[in-house]
């Protein structure tokens, strides 16, 4: 039988042919069909929902679609019920979220079904580490979208408003409903009248999109701004100062979200400066905010050069305070016990604090994962974290369930991500870094989505690859996703985090970065006079015996902070998952791994694998060239080249440095290092 001949025509929509800047993110213009919208309710948010539907409708032409705001017990918070011709919600914002979900489904080919979609967390918040002078701590995508220096620093221009609108729309489209507008290393000026007026202007733009604004505050603000004698949280003058300040803020912004506080951490002031504890400090602010419905997000990122293992310190400080916080305080805990490393076990505080609301802080900006140069899709890391079982209330006590109210009756639930957004045209510096912003929002809404599903959605929305199958006469017989593009690009994204772990810090190694910028390798960096816990040798502990940080009972005993069976599992090198081996153990170079290799050989193979994986990403991307616009193709291609050069440097630097201790050859069946250690040590990694 003669096979039917068919040809593929790749539908190059207008945006593919014209130059692509990436500014549109995953919200691309596509030709909409006419639709009749029926909605009785009127509000700024409903107006936005109707506008989005009108401009984005991909369903049948001239269909009629009903939006209904009507209370329903099955719908929680700003959730919604979605069906083929109707969205129902309790709130106007629920309608807007429903519209974004519907349009996403239409554009990614998923049916609207008959579903109720409720958010897993009440607050889904971006943390901007933006300084008032416009710079961004750990920001790699240009200056702040909110703040700037100079004569017009406080003038709100139409360009500002337009950008804030685009920002708000992008966030709302993935369900993000809060923004902390400034760095946790906060300037006291943040609470001065001029700045608060700008916060009001920003909030007015963000409000119809359902985004609340929050501010990071410096704990010593009363003394610093108004010259009070101290900022002791039990001092009545200080309490009065905060009450007045909060009143002033709410008179400008009646729906203000609340405060985020970094206290007694990395030199920031806090209640301990006055002999008080975290609960004293957090509760004082919580009491001031309570009458207005505001929240305090109090960070648990604390450690001191005390001789105690840094990984244990947050737990030591916060566990004794469990149950002492007001119900409008949430303790904000970084996913891992150290600091946003390429891989860490979950922080033992999750699930352990049973009488306090605890929220996770993730880092979307890639401080430790290649800045805006490396292509690293972070959702697999977040998925691994959220699905980690803490065992705190038996099997299935995952971090996700311990934080979203499924297990503990939490008054407030929330999740935060440190934003990767700046003034760069494509917002994030790297086109693929947009996927991390997108993925954070999607996981904050539904913490059970898989990283793979999110990647698939994002690729379809961002690159819009549809292949049309036509018969020989040119008649389209089927439109389908272009798998030649979708599959390999999704694979590249899914593999990218593990690749970065491999070429940077495999097998539980951590924090072996060059100092300050945290970009390139610096396993050797340990000048005299520097705090030990800021130097890589503190973390890798390489010596002639072996490598790794002993956190078992014979070492720092950090394993004791985990619930059984994890405690025993982590404490035994035979049962400890190999991905965490050197996090918990100091092992001899010839320790036998599950693969049969010695530890040294295994380390070498991991570094080399990481490098080879990046080379494969380069090839996969080159093969994707026919299907994508020139600008985004070449920009990503060039970044992948740089990532590959960097991966080579990571591999060479770590292997040649550790080899001085292992005194063993690099396995003969793998590629040799190509750089000299002396050169690497002298290199300025800021210019890697």
- Which residue ranges make up the site for ligand GCW (CB under 6 A)? 129, 137-138, 184-185, 262, 266, 301, 339-340, 367
Least Å from the CB of residue 10 to ligand GCW:
43
Least Å distance between CB 321 and ligand GCW?
Answer: 19
Whose Cβ is closer to ligand GCW: residue 189's or residue 468's?
Answer: 189
Q: Which is nearer to ligand GCW, 250 or 538 (CB)?
A: 538
205 or 416: CB nearest ligand GCW: 416
| Residue placing its CB nearer to ligand GCW in the complex, 183 or 390 | 183
Catalytic residue among 339, 424, 457, 652: 339
**232 Cβ contact partners less than 8 Å away, ≥ 6 residues apart:** 238, 271, 274, 276
Nearest-approach distance from CB 447 to ligand GCW, in angstroms = 22
List the helix and strand counts (H, then E) for the chain.
20, 18
CB of 333 to ligand GCW, least distance (A): 11
Minimal distance, residue 301 CB to ligand GCW, in Å: 5
Catalytic residue, candidates 367, 383, 424, 601: 367
Q: Which segments within 423-465 are labelled E, that is strand?
A: none
Residue 521 β-bridge partners: 513
Tokens of 89: 């919600």
* Residue 207 burial by Cβ neighbours in a 10 Å radius (0-12, 13-18, 19+): middle
| Burial label, 146 (beta-carbon count in 10 A; 0-12, 13-18, 19+) | buried
Report the residue number whose CB is nearest to ligand GCW: 339
Least separation in angstroms between CB 363 and ligand GCW: 7
Helices 158-173 and 434-445 cross at an angle (nearest 10°) of: 50
The nearer residue to ligand GCW, 138 or 198, going by C-beta atoms, is 138
Closest CA to 9 of 564, 393, 482: 482
- Closer to ligand GCW by CB, 137 or 166: give it: 137
Query: Distance between CA 300 and CA 261 in Å, rounded?
Result: 9
φ, ψ of residue 210 in degrees (nearest 5): 80, 20
Count CB atoms within 10 A of the CB of residue 154.
Answer: 13
CB atoms within 10 A of CB 552: 20
Q: Which of 383, 496, 495 is nearest to 450 (CA)?
A: 383
Task: Give the shortest CB-370-to-ligand GCW separation in angstroms.
Answer: 15
Smallest distance, Å, CB 185 to ligand GCW?
Answer: 5
Q: Are 547 and 505 in contact (CB under 8 A)?
A: no
The H or E element containing residue 63 is strand 63-69
Give min distance, CB of 681 to ligand GCW, in A: 22
The bridge status of strand 86-89 relative to strand 63-69 is: parallel
Inter-residue contact 175 to 438 (CB < 8 Å): no
User: CA 263, CA 254: separation in Å to the nearest integer?
Assistant: 26
Nearest distance from residue 415's CB to ligand GCW, in Å?
A: 16
- The nearer residue to ligand GCW, 138 or 169, going by C-beta atoms, is 138
Nearer CB in complex with ligand GCW: 511/540: 511
β-bridge mates for residue 314, sequence order: none
Q: Where are the beta strands (DSSP E) in 3-111?
A: 7-10, 35-39, 63-69, 80-83, 86-89
Q: Is 339 a catalytic residue?
A: yes
Quick check: 346 and 592 in contact, CB under 8 A?
Answer: no
Which residue out of 226, 266, 625, 676 is catalytically annotated?
266
The token pair that represents 587 in the structure block: 């092992």
Pull the structure tokens for residue 680.
């690497």
Structure tokens at 684: 């300025």
Q: How many residues does the chain have?
A: 688
264-271 — which CB contacts under 8 Å span 24+ positions?
A: 264/302, 265/299, 265/301, 265/302, 265/303, 266/185, 266/301, 268/184, 268/185, 268/218, 268/219, 269/218, 269/219, 269/220, 269/231, 270/219, 271/219, 271/232, 271/233
Paired tokens of 676? 């000299």
Shortest CB 527 distance to ligand GCW, Å: 18
Contact criterion met (CB below 8 Å) for 399 and 344: no
Distance between CA atoms of 104 and 99, rounded to whole angstroms? 8
If the CB atoms of residues 120 and 339 are measured against ligand GCW, the closer one turns out to be 339
Helix (H, G, I), strand (E, B) or coil at 112: coil
DSSP class of residue 352 equals T
Task: Give 262 or 567: the residue with its C-beta nearer to ligand GCW.
Answer: 262
Give the nearest distance from C-beta 322 to ligand GCW in angstroms. 22
Please identify, using beta-carbon distances, which residue of 410 and 512 lies nearer to ligand GCW. 512
| Alpha helices in 57-174, H assignment, sequence order | 92-108, 158-173
* Helix, strand or coil, per DSSP, at residue 587: strand
Of 268 and 662, nearer to ligand GCW (C-beta) is: 268
Q: How far apart are alpha carbons 552 and 549 in whole angstroms? A: 9
Look-up of token digits 């970044």 = 639
Active site positions, annotated: 266, 339, 367
């Amino acid at each position: 039988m003669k096979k039917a001949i068919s040809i593929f025509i790749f539908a190059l929509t207008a945006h593919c042919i014209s130059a692509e800047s990436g500014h549109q993110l995953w919200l691309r213009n596509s030709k909409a069909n006419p639709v009749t919208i029926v909605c009785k309710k009127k509000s700024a948010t409903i107006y936005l929902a109707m506008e989005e539907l009108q401009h984005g409708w991909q369903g049948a032409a001239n269909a009629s679609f009903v939006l209904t705001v009507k209370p329903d017990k099955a719908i929680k918070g700003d959730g919604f019920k979605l069906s083929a011709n109707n969205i129902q919600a309790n709130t106007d914002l629920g309608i807007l979220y429903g519209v974004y979900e519907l349009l996403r489904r239409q554009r990614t080919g998923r049916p609207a079904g008959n579903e109720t979609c409720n958010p897993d967390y009440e607050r889904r918040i971006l943390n901007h580490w933006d300084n008032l002078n416009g710079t961004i701590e750990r920001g790699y995508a240009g200056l702040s979208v909110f703040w700037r220096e100079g004569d017009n620093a406080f003038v709100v221009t139409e360009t500002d408003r337009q950008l804030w609108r685009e920002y708000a729309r992008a966030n709302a489209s993935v369900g993000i409903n809060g923004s902390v507008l400034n760095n946790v290393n906060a300037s006291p000026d943040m609470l001065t009248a001029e700045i608060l007026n700008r916060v009001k202007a920003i909030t007015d733009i963000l409000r119809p999109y359902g985004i609340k604004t929050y501010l990071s505050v410096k704990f010593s603000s009363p003394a610093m701004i108004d010259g009070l004698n101290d900022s002791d949280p039990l001092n009545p003058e200080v309490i009065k100062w905060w009450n007045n300040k909060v009143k002033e803020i709410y008179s400008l912004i009646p729906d203000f979200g609340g405060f985020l506080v970094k206290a007694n951490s990395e030199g920031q002031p806090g209640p301990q400066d006055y002999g008080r504890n975290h609960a004293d400090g957090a509760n004082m602010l919580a009491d001031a905010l309570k009458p207005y419905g505001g929240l305090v997000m109090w960070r648990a990122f604390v450690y001191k050069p005390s001789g105690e293992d840094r990984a244990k310190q947050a737990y030591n400080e916060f566990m004794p305070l469990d149950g002492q916080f007001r119900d409008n305080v949430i303790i904000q805990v970084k996913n891992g016990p150290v600091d946003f490393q390429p891989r860490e076990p979950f922080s033992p505080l999750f699930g352990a604090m049973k009488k306090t609301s605890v929220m996770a802080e993730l880092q979307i900006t890639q401080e430790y994962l290649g800045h805006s140069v490396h292509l690293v899709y972070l959702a697999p890391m977040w998925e691994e974290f959220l699905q980690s079982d803490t065992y705190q209330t038996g099997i299935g006590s995952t971090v996700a369930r311990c934080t979203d109210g499924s297990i503990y009756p939490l008054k407030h639930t929330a999740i935060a991500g440190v934003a990767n957004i700046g003034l760069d045209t494509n917002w994030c510096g790297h086109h693929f870094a947009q996927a991390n912003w997108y993925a954070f929002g999607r996981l904050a809404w539904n913490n059970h989505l898989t990283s793979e599903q999110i990647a698939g959605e994002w690729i379809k929305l961002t690159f819009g690859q549809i292949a049309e199958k036509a018969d020989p006469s040119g008649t389209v017989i089927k439109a389908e996703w272009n798998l030649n593009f979708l599959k390999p690009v999704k694979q590249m994204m899914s593999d990218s985090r593990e690749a970065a772990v491999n070429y940077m810090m495999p097998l539980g190694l951590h924090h072996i970065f060059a100092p300050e910028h945290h970009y390139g390798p610096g396993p050797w960096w340990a000048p005299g006079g520097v705090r030990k816990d800021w130097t890589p040798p503190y973390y890798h502990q390489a010596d002639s015996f072996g490598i790794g940080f002993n956190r078992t009972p014979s070492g720092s005993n950090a394993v004791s902070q985990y619930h059984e069976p994890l405690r025993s599992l982590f404490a035994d090198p035979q049962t400890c998952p190999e991905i965490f081996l050197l996090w918990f153990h100091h092992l001899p170079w010839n320790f036998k791994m599950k693969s049969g290799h010695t530890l040294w050989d295994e380390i070498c193979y991991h570094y080399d694998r990481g490098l080879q994986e990046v080379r494969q990403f380069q090839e996969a991307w080159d093969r994707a060239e026919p299907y994508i616009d020139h600008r985004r193709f070449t920009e990503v291609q060039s970044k992948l080249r740089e990532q590959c050069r960097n991966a080579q440097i990571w591999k060479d630097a770590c292997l040649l440095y550790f080899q001085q201790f292992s005194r063993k050859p690099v396995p003969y069946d793998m590629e040799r290092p190509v750089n000299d250690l002396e050169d690497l040590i002298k290199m300025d990694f800021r210019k890697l």
